[in-house]
Structures are given as C-alpha cells and as structure tokens.
C-alpha cells in the first residue's frame, strides 16, 4: 500500500496531465465530426496493424500443423487419382484388378537426413508394419526423392537422388527421350542426365520426369529441369539437371507401393 501511495505521489503531475489531455481530446472529438472521423480512422489503422501482427504470429506457429494437413490432403488426392486411372484402364474389361489401386502412397515423415555427404541417406518413420519394404519409391510434393534401401518394423532408410549409388531412368517431357539420372557428388541441388543422343532437340528449362520404365516409380513424377547441356563426350549429351526436390527442407514424403510390381518382375524375369 505504501509503495502504491509513493508511486502516485511521485507521478501525480504526469497522471494529472494525461487525465486532462484525455478529457481535452474527448471534448474536441465530440464537438467536431471531422476530428472524430480522424480519430476513428487512426484507431482502425492501429487496431488493424496490431491484429495483423497477432494473426501473423498465430499463423507462423500453426504452420507445422497446416503443412501436415496439406500433405495428407495431397496424398488423399493422389490416391484418388490413381484409383480413377485404374478404373479407366482398358485392361479392366478383360481382367478384374486384384486391388483397387495400382499405386498406393504411404505418408511418412523424415526423422533423419544427410545432405552434404557422398553417400547420403534419409530415415523415415514408416516400416514393415506400415507396408513399407525395400525397393519402394519415395517422393514428396516437390518431386522425386529416392528409393527405400532397408526397412525395420517402424523405420526405413532411403537412398536419395543425392547418393553416388543412385541410378534411375528419367525422360525429357518435351520429346519423351529417356536417359540415366545420377548424382556427381557435389551440389545437393544438381544431378546429371546421360545417354541422350546428340540428334535430340533439347532446351534449357525442359522438364525432366520419371520414365515409368521401372516397377518402382509411376511415369510422370517431377525430377527437375535442364539447366545446361553440352556434347563433350562424343555422341551423347552431358545434361546438368536442376533437381526439383530441396533435400535440405525435406520433411514430409510419400512411399509408393506398386501392387503390380511382383507381376511385372516375374514376367520380365521369365523373358530373360
């Protein structure tokens, strides 16, 4: 109580001044519509600014939850699209599909990720009990990620594009010519496409997609864009690819389960 009285006594002049200022401003506003409109407008601007900052902070802290929700929604749409394409497949006329989907996508979260090594690996939080097994493809909303190397009950390791052991068939969207995509071990944002013959017309900025020539990835998954190309090794281009996936910011991924994979591999194995 004494502290409060000392505070009032110390700042009594200032408090009286503020009180009189408030009364004066109130009288001015009430006596003039012009002044009133100015004060109301200023109040709205200040309130709007404060509310925008509060909402911005609230939006920032809710980004993680919203990103997860968006990833799940994208996954659901991808599965529905694959179901639709399976229903429109002409082969369904002569043979019932054993499963409603050809490809099914399992949502996963990255729990460990290396980027700047020669042999980078990713660990995800889905394993055998979630239907994730060796040699399944892994993608994200950005595009191609890699291939499952091993899986335990609850986790799996993934060999990404940015690993010297990675190889995959990829095609140029504008002409459907396919080559081999591989990483050179330097930048995590770039890879090399080889085995594209010199007579093929290509341009910087051309889109690169998965070719669909393997049982791991469906056709048309985004890989990247052509950054530069040259003819330094004879009859084939050396093509530098700007990868669409930013591995440093990778968090949500989807594992691809191909229900027709065993059938395809058994058939191809019997023809060799």
Question: Domain check: are 214 and 146 in the same one?
Answer: yes
Q: What is the mean pLDDT of the chain?
A: 79
Do 57 and 106 fall within a single domain? Answer: no
Give the H or E element holding residue 51.
helix 33-61
Let me know if residue 95 belongs to a domain: no
Q: Please tell me which residue, 148 or 74, carries the higher pLDDT value.
A: 148
Burial of 186 (0-12, 13-18, 19+ CB in 10 A): exposed
* Domain count within the chain: 2
Q: What is the rounded (10 degree) CA torsion for 198, 202, 207, 212?
A: -40
Same-domain pairing of 213 and 265? yes
The b-or-e profile of 53-90 (16+ CB within 10 A means b, else e) is: eeeeeeeeeeeeeeeeeebeebbeebbeebbeebeeee
pLDDT score for 102? 79
Q: Which of 158, 103, 108, 102 lies closest to 129, judged by CA? A: 108
Q: 171 forms bridges with which residues in the sheet? A: 178, 209
DSSP reduced 3-state for 195? coil
Compute the half-sphere exposure of residue 245: CA atoms within 13 Å on the CB side of its CA: 23
- Is 66 a domain residue? no
DSSP for 57-112 reads: HHHHHTHHHHHHHHHHHHHHHHHHHHHHHHHH-GGGGTS--SSS-SEEEEEEEEEE
Within this chain, do residues 52 and 152 fall inside the same structural domain, yes or no? no
CATH number at residue 199: 2.40.10.340
Question: In percent, how much of the chain has pLDDT > 90?
Answer: 50
Check pLDDT > 90 for residue 25: no
The pLDDT assigned to 70 comes to 63
The whole-number average pLDDT for the span 230-257 is: 90
The answer on 236 and 165 residing in a single domain is yes
The reply to whether 139 and 34 lie within a common domain is no
Q: What is the pLDDT of residue 82?
A: 55
**Residue 37 covered by a domain:** yes
Residue 10 in this model has a pLDDT that exceeds 90: no
Residue 142 banded pLDDT, cuts 50, 70, 90: very high
Are residues 121 and 26 located together in one domain of the fold? no
- Name the residue with tokens 């594009």: 161
The average pLDDT across 240-247 equals: 96
Query: Which of 202, 181, 194 is CA-nearest to residue 237?
Result: 194
Say whether pLDDT at 269 is over 90.
no
Query: Is residue 88 a part of any domain in this protein?
Result: no
Q: Which tens digits make up the pLDDT trace of 85-118?
A: 444 443 443 344 444 567 889 999 999 999 999 9
Instruction: Examine residue 67 and state whether it is found in any structural domain, yes or no.
Output: no
DSSP 204: T
pLDDT greater than 90 at residue 79: no
The per-residue pLDDT for range 150-188, each reduced to its tens digit, is 999 999 999 999 999 999 999 999 999 999 999 999 999
Whether 48 and 139 share a structural domain = no
Q: Do 210 and 270 belong to one domain? A: yes
State how far Cα 177 lies from the chain centre: 26
- The structure tokens 């968090």 sit at 251
Whether residue 5 is predicted with pLDDT greater than 80 in this model: the reply is: no
| Pair 36, 112 in one domain | no
Alpha-carbon distance values, 235 to 95, 192, 194, 227, 230 (Å): 44, 16, 11, 20, 10
Mean pLDDT computed over 233-241: 88
Which residue range forms the structural domain that includes residue 239? 102-272
Instruction: Over range 201-205, report the average pLDDT.
Output: 93
Are 55 and 114 contained in the same domain?
Answer: no
206 inside domain? yes
pLDDT over threshold 70, residue 69: no
Place 52 in a pLDDT band, splitting at 50, 70 and 90. Answer: very low
Alpha-carbon distance 33 to 10, whole Å?
A: 38
Residue 47 Cα distances to 29, 92, 134, angstroms: 19, 61, 56
Residue 237's Cα: distance from chain center in Å?
A: 30
Whether 97 is in a domain gets the answer no
Residue 139 lies in a domain: yes
Residues 153 and 208 in one domain: yes
The pLDDT of residue 87 is 44
The conformation of residue 119, written as its DSSP 8-state character, comes to B
């Amino acid at each position: 109580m004494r502290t409060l009285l000392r505070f009032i006594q110390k700042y009594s002049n200032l408090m009286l001044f503020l009180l009189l200022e408030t009364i004066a401003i109130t009288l001015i506003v009430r006596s003039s519509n012009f002044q009133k409109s100015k004060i109301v407008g200023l109040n709205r601007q200040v309130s709007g600014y404060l509310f925008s900052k509060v909402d911005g902070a609230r939006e920032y802290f809710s980004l993680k939850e919203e990103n997860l929700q968006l990833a799940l929604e994208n996954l659901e749409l991808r599965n529905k699209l694959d179901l639709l394409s399976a229903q429109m497949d002409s082969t369904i006329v002569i043979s019932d599909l054993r499963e409603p989907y050809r490809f099914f996508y399992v949502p996963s979260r990255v729990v460990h990720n290396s980027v700047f090594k020669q042999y980078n690996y990713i660990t995800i939080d889905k394993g055998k009990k979630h239907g994730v097994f060796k040699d399944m493809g892994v993608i994200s909303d950005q595009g191609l990620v890699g291939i499952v190397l091993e899986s335990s009950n609850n986790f799996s390791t993934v060999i990404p594009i940015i690993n010297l052991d990675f190889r995959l068939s990829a095609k140029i969207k504008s002409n459907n010519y396919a080559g081999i995509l591989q990483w050179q071990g330097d930048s995590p944002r770039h890879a090399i496409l080889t085995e594209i013959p010199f007579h093929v017309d290509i341009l910087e900025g051309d889109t690169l997609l998965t070719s669909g020539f393997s049982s791991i990835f469906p056709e048309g998954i985004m890989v990247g864009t052509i950054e530069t190309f040259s003819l330094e090794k004879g009859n084939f281009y050396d093509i530098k690819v700007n990868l669409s996936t930013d591995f440093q910011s990778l968090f949500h991924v989807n594992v691809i389960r191909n229900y027709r994979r065993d059938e395809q591999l058994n058939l191809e194995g019997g023809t060799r």
